[in-house]
A and B are shown apart, each in its own frame.
Chain A
Amino acid sequence: MKPFTWLAPDTTAGAVAMLREHAPDARAIAGGQSLLLALKDRSARPTHLVSLSGIDELTGVRTADDGSLVVGAATTYAVLARASLAGWHGVLAEVAGDLADRPVRNRGTIGGALCTADPRYDMPAFAIGVGAGLRVSGASGDRAVAAEDFAEGAGVTALGPDEILTAVVLPPLAAWDTVAFEKFRHRVFDAAIVSVTCALRQGPDGTVAETRLAVGGATPVPVTAPVAAALLAEGASAAEVGTRAADEVLPGGTTGGEAVRYRHELIRSLVRRAVDRALSDVRTV
């Protein structure tokens, strides 16, 4: 670890001011579960660390007036997993409670996962899958970014050097009837090799009105598969949607290298499972 100066502001504005003052080599740290690993192997060498854990406004989960769920960026996975959330918002708690391991979930935060932008992490893929919005505070004011526009590459985000991710906003419950999240990993505490989120809304006549499919882990940033999702709305089977999604996310995946073929196959299976589960959910509701 390279030496750094420790700064612990108690407001978002204070943190932004510190990041700006010491840009570009200052970094924000929330739980630090990813950043500390990077500090130890010196792949990150910040001169200043700005701690977000003392900022109360960045933690906690609340429902906004319009029904959307506002999750503070520095809310830990453990808090999310224990939260009692209604309807498909509850899938956020399930995802948060089934990643990494118990001690890591007690420190790791949802915003940390998004800002680390590791392609294998569940939270970015889930946020994109349900069409979440992100709130960002910076020296030049606040702005909103769609989750799918946030990650720009593996480990690269749309966040400026003096900006902080403050909240993840899940759309209101009415946006989807059900959300299914599926992932594959070798060991329980491993990051997913591939994860799939399938969000689904029915029309008044009981047919599928809108769907959204997002695939994480297979590409440098999680991506949506709109063509496959549209196929589902047209009444295609889960298996057909899976095959289409795999080709859409990894074109030519069946003839690529071993790792690509493996992921292609995982997308096919996981999309099929997620779609199956989402369909059976809405039919039993």
Chain B
Amino acid sequence: MQKVTLTVNGREVTAEIDERTLLLEFVRDTAGLTGTHNGCMEARCGCCAIEVDGDVVKSCNVLAVQVNGAEVTTIEGLSPQKLGPVQQVTTQTLAGVYEPLDAIRSSVEDLHPLQAAFHRCHALQCGFCTPGMVMVLKDYLEENPAPCRDDVRKAIAGNLCRCTGYQHIVDAAMEAAEVMRGAGATTTDD
């Protein structure tokens, strides 16, 4: 057993863990943040991508002990979390009969530009790959603020999406890049 301390989205989490614990497992099971998804456990799909000390990594292919003491940012850390504790699961919530943004008691302005762009461009269908896509694109766009569509496709080469055909994801990345550059006016439709 090994004592590991990580700062996850600004919150310090310390736990006595098995050396074999993957960073992914630490984030999901120990820190309790399930926004980071466990897709393939083979560093192929990219659904588990999170930032460690500012660099995006595939958390299923990193041991928690390897990054002891690091600052970790997960998808939950990108925008202020206003999600209250889930009171009860109703058929309505299961059927998704609610406005997603209402559910997190938040507004478009609170979202990270990438999250807002994903929402606006409908860059997800089932949403399983989305946390990884957003984290990788955030890391990429912060380093390359003005990419072309081909650059974006290369940047998310390690992220698999089986629903969208990537078209809308690239749209969203281009739109977010513009917002993050501060060049274009933030379109506040709907």
Q: A78 CA to B53 CA in the complex, in Å? A: 14
CB nearest to A82 among chain B residues: B143
* Nearest chain B CB to A79 CB, angstrom units: 10
Q: A10 CA to B41 CA in the complex, in Å? A: 29
- Residue among B2, B58, B66, B153 with the most chain A CB within 10 A? B66
- Residue among B19, B46, B52, B63 with the most chain A CB within 10 A? B63
Q: Kindly state whether residue A282 has any CB partner on chain B within 8 Å.
A: no
Q: Kindly state whether residue A104 has any CB partner on chain B within 8 Å.
A: yes
Q: A176 CA to B155 CA in the complex, in Å? A: 31
Q: A155 CA to B139 CA in the complex, in Å? A: 32
Taking CB atoms, residues of chain B closer than 8 Å to A106 are 52, 55-57, 139
Report if A33-B55 is in contact (Cβ < 8 Å); known contacts: A4-B19, A40-B41, A102-B158: no
CB pair B158 A107 closer than 8 Å: no
Task: Select which of B19, B62, B140 is within 8 A of A36 by beta carbon.
Answer: B62
Taking CB atoms, residues of chain A closer than 8 Å to B139 are 102-103, 106
Report if A33-B157 is in contact (Cβ < 8 Å); known contacts: A5-B19, A103-B49, A103-B58: no
Taking CB atoms, residues of chain B closer than 8 Å to A5 are 19
Q: A188 CA to B157 CA in the complex, in Å? A: 6
A contact residues, range: 20 to 34
Taking CB atoms, residues of chain A closer than 8 Å to B140 are 102
CB pair A189 B158 closer than 8 Å: yes
Report if A4-B20 is in contact (Cβ < 8 Å); known contacts: A36-B63, A101-B158, A103-B49: yes
CB pair A187 B157 closer than 8 Å: yes
CB pair A107 B154 closer than 8 Å: no
Q: How many A-B residue pairs have CB under 8 A?
A: 73
CB pair A51 B49 closer than 8 Å: no
Taking CB atoms, residues of chain B closer than 8 Å to A1 are 20
Taking CB atoms, residues of chain B closer than 8 Å to A217 are none
CB pair B19 A32 closer than 8 Å: no
Q: Tell me the chain B residues, 57-78 only, with Cβ under 8 Å from chain A.
A: 57-58, 61-63, 65-66
Report if A3-B158 is in contact (Cβ < 8 Å); known contacts: A36-B62, A40-B42, A51-B66: no
Q: Kindly state whether residue A269 has any CB partner on chain B within 8 Å.
A: no
Taking CB atoms, residues of chain A closer than 8 Å to B55 are 78, 106
Q: Kindly state whether residue A37 has any CB partner on chain B within 8 Å.
A: yes
Q: Tell me the chain B residues, 71-124 only, with Cβ under 8 Å from chain A.
A: none
Contact with A along B146-177 (1 / 0, CB 8 A): 00000001110111000000000000000000
Q: Kindly state whether residue B6 has any CB partner on chain A within 8 Å.
A: no
Main secondary structure of the interface of B (DSSP, over half): mixed
CB nearest to B139 among chain A residues: A102
Q: Tell me the chain A residues, 157-198 only, with Cβ under 8 Å from chain B.
A: 187-189
Q: A49 CA to B20 CA in the complex, in Å? A: 11
Q: A8 CA to B4 CA in the complex, in Å? A: 13
Q: Kindly state whether residue B136 has any CB partner on chain A within 8 Å.
A: yes
Taking CB atoms, residues of chain B closer than 8 Å to A102 are 56, 136, 139-140, 155, 157-158
CB pair B57 A100 closer than 8 Å: no
CB pair A53 B66 closer than 8 Å: yes
* Nearest chain B CB to A183 CB, angstrom units: 14
CB nearest to B19 among chain A residues: A6
Q: Kindly state whether residue B43 has any CB partner on chain A within 8 Å.
A: yes
CB pair B49 A6 closer than 8 Å: no
Q: Tell me the chain A residues, 28-68 only, with Cβ under 8 Å from chain B.
A: 29, 32-33, 36-37, 40, 49, 51, 53
* Nearest chain B CB to A75 CB, angstrom units: 14
* Nearest chain B CB to A116 CB, angstrom units: 14
CB nearest to B58 among chain A residues: A103
Task: Select which of B19, B52, B158 is within 8 A of A104 by beta carbon.
Answer: B158
Taking CB atoms, residues of chain B closer than 8 Å to A29 are 66
* Nearest chain B CB to A263 CB, angstrom units: 23
Report if A107-B20 is in contact (Cβ < 8 Å); known contacts: A37-B42, A187-B157: no
Task: Select which of A53, A78, A103 is within 8 A of B136 by beta carbon.
Answer: A103
Taking CB atoms, residues of chain A closer than 8 Å to B63 are 6, 32, 36
Known: A8-B65, A103-B139, A104-B58. 10 other contacts (CB 8 A): A4-B19, A32-B63, A36-B61, A36-B63, A101-B158, A102-B140, A102-B155, A188-B153, A188-B154, A188-B157
| Nearest 4 pairs of A and B residues by beta carbon | A101-B158, A188-B157, A106-B55, A189-B157
